[in-house]
Chains A and B, each alone.
Chain A
Amino acid sequence: MYQRFYTALLIVSSVALFIFTLMAGYREITPDYKSYKSEYRDLFRSKATGEFMKKKAESIDFSVQQVYLGKLNRIDRCINCHLGVENPLMEDAEVPFKMHSGNYLETHPVAEFGCTVCHYGQGRATNAEDAHGTDRETHWDWPILPLKYIDSACAQCHDQEMLAENGADRVLRGEKQFVEKGCRGCHKVNGIGGVLGKALDGIGTQPRAYFPMRYVQGDKTAYTWLKEHFDDPRSIVPESEMRIVLLKDEDADLLTTYILTIRADEMPRDYRRIRTGTQEVPGGEELYKMYCIACHTTGKYSVYDEIFKRTIPAIMNPTFLRVADDNQLRRFIEDGRANTQMTDWKEDAAGLTDDEIGRIVEFLAKSRPAKRGKLFGRSIFDGDTARGRDIYETRCALCHGEDGMGGKNRLGISLVTPVVKEADPEFLLQTVRDGREGTPMIPFGSSGINLSDQDILDVVGYVRTIKPTASPKE
């Protein structure tokens, strides 16, 4: 029954099936790369002169080709479109047929290195869009690396000096930016560096989803993200506490190149060409730039920081240095200042060696005035704390807070920290008396508010007794 209906259905379906099977088959046997291959063959033919070359042009293999790189755990099929990379006739041809620039392929033969190990991208793909993977919809984690960052790939196997000698000095120049802009003041690399930002270990191999791409203007790739976020971190990540890295466009590219060399993976030993030698020991000024400059800038003036909502003290201020001797400075750096963004930098925390801290102290001490302040001559705190409390509340509480904890929207720093607790009497007394030039801390001694030495002794005595409240006041 319903014979006509079912027969018609059968015929129509069968015809549709037949047509689409043929279409699917046709699509299978005509992948994108075949048209590239025939285009390349025509080009090759037109350029080929000798008998040998003409023969080669005719013998292009139209089936899919790949470079199987077992040790690198990669498969690269780029050569199905980028056909002329090893063909000297293609020196002036257009991409994708152009010969590889420079003489890199002489030392890095395609059969041994493939393509994606330097250029990234998706070696397994067989069409341009997926292989390059810059479009987010291709769902590919490591898109092709723009040529301006290509030096970063070299650093997988080569040390930077070797690269610099051979003209690939962008990594080295990028590292210089990395050091001078003080990135390590907040970001740890290999366990050394500040704690305010995310550790950068393995950042060069993080998948695309690691980077919030929402506000990125250009391609939604890690490369663009990195570069754009140097310009204005909060335009890329609104809640970021990172400060704007003032960079010229070109330097931003260099810095991006360097950041991309910080990878989580390691090349197999056969591929690596790292010379082991003694590294140059960085000097005090360089260390200061690397770890301190991001927050303290030049160190001459204290500034109220809009992001941290607190004041960052001037550490090369003469009045500060006059009262803080080398040991004091070293203690500040080693132990940090609890409750502030100043972390403890000693070796088992942020990772600076004693020697490195010594060199930073040495650098800071260069700005110390020759003349020391008048000594109080005290080695213990013996002020009248009850009297000191009255003075504190009238004179100090406005900036440092009733609870002595400084913090948000207050000009003063927290006084309830181990640094103050453990400080030398002379250091605290002199600081109160002479103030801190270039900061809101004015002299409270004869040169300013005119408190007597006894007043200062009392108030410092009181400050040392303040107990921390439950949590920092918001």
Chain B
Amino acid sequence: MENSKETGIKKLLENIKKLKSSMAASYIREGKPESDMSRAAVMFNNFFLHFQGVKTHLNTLRPTYTFGLGLIALFLLVFTTISGFLLMIYYNPSIEHAYNTVKDIRYVVFGGDLTRNIHKWAGEGMLIFVILHMARVLYTGSYKRGREFNWVIGIVLLSLTFVLNFTGYLLPWDQLSYWALVIGSNIAQSPKEITDILGITKFFDIGGFQKELLLGGTIPGKETLTRVYFLHIMLLPLFLFTFLGAHFWRVRKDGGLTKPDDFVPSISPEKMGGIFTTHKTYGLMALARGKTPAVDRDVENTVLSWPHLLRAETAVFMLTLAGVLIYSYFVSAPLKELAAPLIPENPAKAPWYFLGLQELVSYSAFMGGIALPSLALLGLGLIPYLDREQDHVGVWFSSRQGLYVTITSFIVGTAVLIGILVIVINFGWFRNWWPDVPQVLITLVNPGTIWVAFTIAWSVLVINRTDSTRMGALALFTLFLLSFLILTYVGTELRGPNWEFYWSRSQWPVH
């Protein structure tokens, strides 16, 4: 016993000495990433890394192919989540205290103002980068070859990003929050416009139900804040992260990012290293029937993810973090007066990313607030199913013709949209010409619906002229992007009190 006791202590001391290396070895089980094998194993065996391939295609690393847009959106989500946790420590979701706690976060919490700015700008940055990422995916034709459904998931993520931003906007309970909530809840109620026309509001008041679901009442109040808070911190993030998981999982299963079929590497193959010699696959070949999705035919154009991909990702991470921090250092998140339910803001504006919609809403609440956005999301979601041409994937604009179609669509679309806006702003619409026009006509025929009709007609025309559905997709998406840009600009900068037209904010009558 005496003997074994000594050995026991000895063993313990030995283990303590080896603690550092044994702990490291237990985490990185395959030793230091010195050989290609162990580098591959690091990626493969690590929970946090294994959702990326062991090897990464050179095209994926090409900065001008992706511009890191999706990755930036992801990192912004990480920052906004972490800063959100920090803000939750101080924020109190009750109408008595919400505003004051936001003020306190600003004035007396160490780094509170900066954290709030980061939360705000990273959230809104997400919107921008999700849209840019979507544009990249579309213009490189990356919604094809098995990636169709992942594009649809992307659309869901885009919508969730909008709603998350909107619910966050409501939490400080200032004038901006309150009146955005009034407008938002009434947009939710706007199907009433249609049920009223059909005369079925009494039995089937879907609009009223949606509004009361959001508000927990008929006007924004304490119930509303509870619900919005719950949506913002719990339900919507849960959905977002779930769909995000599916989004990444599918990217991985589809064999990583798209790449041109005729990719020519700019470095010699022997530098790339590798353990695979032939084709690689991502399907369960032996167990499942059917085709395996997206098999790489150019394994030779890949490099090991460790360190190449991770270096690139880390660089984008730091770039994003630095960008958000510097922007938040200089620009403060807005906070207006405490909510005053009896004193509407004039103009009462939704947050900027909804001002394009608000412009549409100023023609017809139901069309602008529900029908057209749903139609836009539906149209975007259908793109991969309506355009099934499988060539030119992974090339920006597919071809010279694609670039030409995009530019032409941009120019024609800008001219037409501005033309429509000029008519509306100068001459008004039906009701200004025939005061007794029935509401159903305005709901159905208004500048918004005319514009959407034009985008559809133009895309069909492009398909007809080029004999290519891919060109139609390019045209449709370009017009979508363009209308988002122009309408948002008009709603933000050119609309003043009473939603009247002003060339700039400085011309607004001072309120």
Contacts and interface: CB of A to CB of B under 8 A. Distances in A.
- Is A in direct contact with B (CB under 8 Å) within the complex? yes
Interface of A: 1-3, 5-7, 9-10, 13-14, 16-17, 20-21, 23-25, 27-28, 64, 66, 75, 77, 122, 124-126, 130, 139-141, 207-210, 212-214
B308 A24 contact: no
Main secondary structure of the interface of A (DSSP, over half): helix
Given A24-B114, A209-B175, 13 more contacts: A1-B267, A7-B315, A9-B318, A17-B321, A20-B325, A66-B108, A124-B108, A139-B175, A140-B337, A207-B337, A207-B338, A208-B337, A214-B511
A1 B107 contact: no
B108 A64 contact: yes
B62 interface: yes
10 contacts: A2-B61, A10-B318, A13-B315, A13-B322, A23-B329, A24-B114, A64-B108, A77-B108, A141-B338, A207-B338
Contacts of B318: 9-10, 13-14, 17
A9 B114 CA distance: 24
B325 A10 contact: no
Contacts of B58: 1
Interface of B: 58, 61-63, 100, 103-104, 107-108, 110-111, 114, 174-175, 267, 303, 308, 311-312, 314-316, 318-319, 321-322, 325-326, 329, 335-338, 340, 343, 345, 509-511
A313 B63 CA distance: 85
Contact of A1 (B61, B100, B322, B340): B61
Nearest to A220: B510
Contacts of B103: 122, 124-125
Counting from the closest, the 4 A-B pairs by CB-CB distance are A13-B318, A10-B315, A17-B322, A9-B315
Contacts of B329: 20, 23-24, 27
A14 to B, nearest CB: 5
A16 to B, nearest CB: 4
Tell which of B314, B315, B509 has the most Cβ of chain A within 10 Å: B315
A131 B102 CA distance: 15
Nearest to B308: A1
Contacts of B315: 6-7, 9-10, 13
Nearest to A64: B108
Main secondary structure of the interface of B (DSSP, over half): helix
A139 to B, nearest CB: 5
Given A13-B318, A126-B108, A139 B335 contact: yes
Given A10-B314, A124-B103, A209-B343, A17 B337 contact: no
B268 to A, nearest CB: 12
Contacts of B308: 1, 3
A417 to B, nearest CB: 34
Contacts of A208: 337
B327 to A, nearest CB: 10
Contact of A213 (B100, B340, B510): B510
Contacts of A75: 104
Contacts of A21: 325
A213 to B, nearest CB: 6
Given A7-B311, A124-B107, A125-B107, A209 B337 contact: yes
Given A21-B325, A124-B104, A126-B108, A2 B312 contact: yes
Contact of A13 (B311, B321, B335): B321
Contact of A126 (B107, B174, B267, B326): B107
A125 B107 CA distance: 6
Contacts of A16: 322, 326
A24 B174 CA distance: 26
A1 B303 CA distance: 8
B125 to A, nearest CB: 15
Contacts of A140: 337
A20 B63 CA distance: 25
A214 B322 contact: no
Given A207-B338, A209-B340, A210-B343, A124 B312 contact: no
A466 B175 CA distance: 53
A283 B274 CA distance: 105
B100 A124 contact: yes
A141 B510 contact: no
A212 to B, nearest CB: 7
B311 A24 contact: no
A23 B114 CA distance: 11
A214 B497 CA distance: 12
B337 A6 contact: no
Contact of A2 (B63, B319, B343): B63
